[in-house]
A and B are shown apart, each in its own frame.
Chain A
Amino acid sequence: MSNLAAKRDMPRANAGDGPVLAPLDIGHEKYIALVEPDTAFWSLVKKNRLADLICDPAFLEMVREHAHEFATEMETLRYGLTPSAVYFNPTERCNLNCTYCYLPEAMRRHGIHMSRDDLFRALETLRDFFHPTMPANDRPQVIFHGSEPLMNRKAIFTAIDHFGEDFVFGIQTNGTLLDDGAIEFLTSRQVSIGLSLDGPLAEITDRTRHTFSGHSVHDRVLKALDSLRGYESYSVICTATSENLEHLTRMVELLHSLEVPTCMLNPVRCTLDGGRRVRPSDLDLAAAYTRALDRSYQLYLETGRKLIVANFANILLAIVAPTARRLMCDISPCGGGRCFFAVDAHGALFPCSEFIGIEGFKGGNIFSGDLQHCFDTSAFRSVTQRGVEMIEPCEHCAFRHFCGAPCPAEAHELAGDSLHRGAFCGFYQEQARYAMRLIADGREEAYLWDGWDDDTHTTFDLNIADRKG
């Protein structure tokens, strides 16, 4: 081959069949990111080397060689998975009236409990549904969710005992009914437990989480958390709102001191009016959130013990190991209706529990033989086919596969159509920048749980490639 021919075949960034590489300011003193948005390939390069790297044929050839592999990986992650979990509401009722709840108040006040017999019938149907598609030695998950699932405690505890060989069970509870008997029952059966608490002090939590009559539940949840100390599989959700932003750092300190293994500091979902009323600005949220993350890192250095902030860990994973994500909100299409789905207390099927109460997203009923059919309904397909490429301005955003434009339910209720971005676009951008700054500084392992990469293998490592070259 002549030199001229060789030069013609040489990849050029952002031209022809060369890789599309977008430079991104990540707010780091020394590094800038280069991202191939379609495949979520990323590299961090010292700012004074950017021009050299983007013109470096060896680097560009490496990126091009891996492009198909990365694209296939993303395609499988986005469109090739089958459901393996169900979020199951065994009751419509809740004993709390949290200001931002995404479920209608009338439902939570006056709704029904699913009967024990109906719960068993539904779980039998789910067992049969999951059986053909689950990998060997793996079991589908059933997460009892709410409203408050422990309002229907007898039925779900009976079901956990009866179906213990068929499912891995979890429960998300507000913690107020989690007495010693419940804790012993759930932990002895290895049920994963999620609780909710919004502040380090009662006066903060009470702003958003309280009973219908306005009474505080903060201390009861703290007592449950203290009783769970040492259990390996529980987590705490703290919903970040305008009411508790300035206390997120203190919240991290409290949860770490209680030896909570995992928490989420979730931006409030703005699906209903209540959430919108306590919506913080993206800028304020990002500042408070990253301060809290900084504090979790300091506490790790001081004690050697991690408090994993799972929603942030998931953004890190979206960058360094996209398929290792545990949360499926920050990928598009989101996990709703394809990795998991939701069943309400009447047996109605929804892509995700966030849609419960929104009639247009009901895909059928588990008691009507609609389970397989629901995945082909427009209710489900409008979620399972919602790619960031269909959303303005996400289609042009280099962060699009690190964020996924969550959430379709929120977008639908905010904008009247799920083909819009949800709330907090600026916050999600800042999360990705913060994650990349950590990677630039070599600190990402401190934010991920031990053993996170035990089942992974490396498909790209520039240092190794350099040595080979």
Chain B
Amino acid sequence: MTSERPEVISYRKTCRASGTGLSHYVLLTRAQRDGSVEMKSLEAQRKLVDGAGKPGAAQNQPAREESQQLTTTSS
């Protein structure tokens, strides 16, 4: 990958600073904070999902199988 990279790489982006996290807690997305994204409750999300009733299941079946193995091992 690096062989195709530029000889010099440099960029910088900016925005209104609004970080409030610390090492004990973090909220990453600004949208969740200012209400521009309306999050659904777990109950509402589960009604949207077929089958297992949990949102990740339909999109990521392989990960779910892996998860069950790990969770079982852990408990």
A: which residues have CB within 8 A of B? 28-31, 41-46, 49, 53, 59, 70, 73, 76-77, 81, 84-85, 87, 135, 137-139, 141, 143, 145, 168, 170, 172, 183-184, 187-190, 192, 194, 200-202, 218-219, 222, 226-233, 235, 237, 253-254, 256-259, 262, 264, 266, 269, 303, 305, 308, 310-311, 313-314, 320-329, 334-336, 339-340, 352-354, 406-407, 439-443, 449, 451-463
Contact = CB atoms under 8 A, between A and B. Distances in A.
Interface string B21-41: 111111111111111001111
B19 A29 contact: no
B27 A459 contact: no
A439 B2 CA distance: 10
Contact of A459 (B12, B33, B35): B12
Contacts, number: 260
**Max count, chain A CB within 10 A of own CB: residue among B2, B26, B54:** B26
Contacts of B21: 310, 314, 326-329, 335
Given A43-B9, A323-B17, A258 B67 contact: yes
Given A440-B5, A453-B13, A200 B74 contact: yes
Given A188-B41, A269-B23, A324-B13, A138 B66 contact: no
Contacts of B28: 235, 262, 308, 310, 313, 326, 449, 452
Given A230-B46, A323-B16, A303 B32 contact: no
Given A168-B32, A237-B23, A456-B14, 7 more contacts: A53-B8, A194-B25, A222-B71, A257-B71, A259-B60, A303-B63, A458-B13
A139 B8 CA distance: 41
B2 A455 contact: no
Nearest to B26: A310
A46 B7 contact: yes
B8 A49 contact: yes
Interface in B47-75: 49, 54-56, 60, 62-63, 66-67, 69-71, 73-75
B10 A141 contact: no
Given A49-B7, A231-B45, A258-B71, A335 B62 contact: no
Contact of B33 (A45, A139, A187): A139
B12 A335 contact: no
A407 B22 CA distance: 10
The 4 closest A-B pairs by CB, nearest first: A230-B55, A257-B67, A43-B10, A85-B20
B59 to A, nearest CB: 8
Nearest to A455: B15
B71 A305 contact: no
A321 B29 contact: no
A325 B45 CA distance: 29
B70 A253 contact: yes
Contacts of A336: 22
A237 B29 CA distance: 17
B30 A455 contact: yes
Nearest to B12: A460
**Max count, chain A CB within 10 A of own CB: residue among B11, B13, B21, B40:** B21
Contact of A29 (B2, B12, B23): B2
B17 A77 contact: yes
Contact of B63 (A28, A305, A407): A305
A25 B73 CA distance: 42
Contacts of B62: 303
B34 to A, nearest CB: 5
Contact of A192 (B11, B32, B38, B49): B32
A139 B34 contact: yes
B35 A339 contact: no
A314 B20 CA distance: 12
14 contacts: A30-B5, A42-B10, A43-B8, A170-B25, A202-B74, A228-B42, A237-B23, A253-B70, A305-B63, A310-B26, A323-B17, A354-B24, A440-B5, A451-B29
Nearest to B27: A192
A184 B42 CA distance: 7
B35 A137 contact: yes
A308 B67 CA distance: 17
Given A256-B63, A303-B62, A461-B11, A327 B34 contact: no
